[in-house]
Chains A and B, each alone.
Chain A
Amino acid sequence: MESVNLQKQTLAAGLILLLLALPASAQEANVAPPDKPKQADAVEKKAQSQSNHPSAEAHATQDGIKVHGQWMIVIRNPDGSIASRQEFENSLQMGDQVLAGVLGHTMTVGPWSILIRDPCVGHGAGGGQQGGCHIHEANAPGFPASESFAGLTVKLSGTPTLNALILSGSAKSTYGGTIFRVETIQSTCPATTLPADCGTTAHNFIFTQQDISPITIQPGQSIDVTVQLSFS
C-alpha cells in the first residue's frame, strides 16, 4: 500500500515539474536571445565581413540593393571608463536625394557631420539651453542650435575592397541631458564646385536618422560615436 502511494506521489511530482518547466520553454522559444555585447571594433569588422562575401551580390533580388547604416555610441565617464554602449541601425532620411544628386551630376559632396540630439549646449537665449552635439569635419557648415565639436574623421574601410564609409568622432556634454535622436549630415554644393571647395557655404542634408530610446548623459560624460555606411 505504501509502495502504491509512493508511485502515485512520484507520478504527481513528475507532472508538476513538467507543468512548471513548460512555460519556461515556451518563453525561450518566443523571445529571441539578446545580442551578446559587441567588441569596440565590431562596426569595422562587420564592414570587412560583408566585403568578404561578394558572391551574394551576383544574384539580383526583388528587394534590389541595400544600404546599411550601423551606429555605435559609447558613453564614457570623465575618467575614461565606459558607462554604456549602444548599437543600432538607422534609416535613410534625405540620403536618397544626395545620392541621386551626386550620381546625377547635379551635386558635389562636401563635409560630413553627426548630430546628437540634444545633450549639449544650444545657441538659444542665454546660450545655456539644451541643444545638439554637432560633431563635424574641419570645414563643415554650422548647424543651428547646436554645440560644435570638430574632429570628425571620415575614412574608407573594408577588406579586400574599401566598400564602407566610417564616420567617427566625439562630443562632451557639459551639463548632461538626454540623447533621443541621432543623424548623419552630408553637406553638398552645386556640381560645378569641386569637393575640396565645398565647405562652409554648403547646404546640409540629413542623410540618415534614427530616433532611439532615451540615453541619459551625466554632466562631464563624453559621447563617442562611430557610424558605418555601407552598400550591398
Chain B
Amino acid sequence: MKGHKLWTAILLLGLLLLAQMSTAQEKIASAEKAEAPTAPREAIKVHGHWIIVIRNPDGSVASRREFENSLDVTGQTFLSWLLAGQSGTFGWVVQIGPLCGKGKSETCSLTEATLANDPNAVTLFKSGLMPVLFASAPTTGPNAGAIVLSGSAVAANSGAIEKVSTKVLVNNGQLYGFTSTSLSQSISVKAGQTADVTVAIRFS
C-alpha cells in the first residue's frame, strides 16, 4: 500500500517537472521570436590602419611597420558633432615623433596645406609643423570607402617613434584627438631619414 502511494507521488512529481519544462521552452521560444530582429551586437566596425616606412637618404627602405589604431574619446565627439552638421572647416594632422624641430626635438605634426599658415596650427605645433599631409576619400581601388591620410617627413633629429596619432584642427582653434596608439615596439629613426606615413581609416 505504501509502495502504491509512493509510485503515485513519483508520477505526479514527474508530470509536474514535464509541465515546467514545457512552459520554460514556450517562454524561450516566445523570447526568441520577440528578439529575432536583433543583429549581432557591435556589428559595425571602423578600422584605422597605419603603414610607416622609414627610408634612408638614398631612398632605400630601412624599416617598415604596419599596425592598427583606435578611436580616441574626442574622436567619438568629433564624429558625432560632424554628423550633426555642426562642423566648421577642419584640417587633418598626423603626429609622430619626436623627430622634428630645431634645437629641441618636437613632435612631427604633418598637416594639410590649408593649415600651413593657420595661427592656431603655428602656435600649437611650433617648429614641428610640416604642411605635407594629403587627405583623400578614394571611390575606387583598395582604399575605396576609406579616408586616407598620407605624407612624408624628414627627421631633423635621431630618435624613436613610440606613439602616433591623427587629429583634427577645427577653424575655431579646437584640436580633437581622432585616433592614436602606442607602439609595442618603437621605430628607430636617424636624422636625415624619411618617414612615409599612410593612415587608412575604414568603416564597415
Contact = CB atoms under 8 A, between A and B. Distances in A.
B81 A156 contact: yes
Q: Classify chain B's interface size.
A: 35 or more
A117 to B, nearest CB: 13
B135 A104 contact: yes
Contacts of A90: 39, 43-44
Contact of B137 (A17, A67, A104, A213): A104
A228 to B, nearest CB: 10
A59 B136 CA distance: 26
Contact of B38 (A12, A89, A195, A198): A89
A144 B137 CA distance: 28
B125 to A, nearest CB: 20
Contacts of A61: 68, 70
A60 B145 contact: no
A65 B84 contact: no
Interface string B162-204: 0000000000000000010100000000000000000001111
Interface stretch (B15-23, B57-65, B99-107): B15-23
Nearest to B67: A60
A163 B76 contact: yes
B154 to A, nearest CB: 26
A186 B45 contact: no
Interface residues of A, number: 75
A64 B48 contact: yes
Nearest to B201: A103
A106 B138 CA distance: 10
23 contacts: A16-B10, A20-B18, A27-B21, A27-B24, A57-B72, A57-B76, A64-B45, A64-B49, A66-B42, A68-B42, A89-B42, A91-B43, A99-B83, A100-B145, A100-B147, A104-B137, A161-B74, A162-B77, A195-B87, A208-B44, A229-B83, A230-B80, A231-B76
The 10 lowest CB-CB distance pairs between A and B, nearest first, are: A104-B137, A34-B31, A212-B37, A163-B76, A96-B203, A64-B47, A65-B71, A65-B46, A195-B85, A213-B36
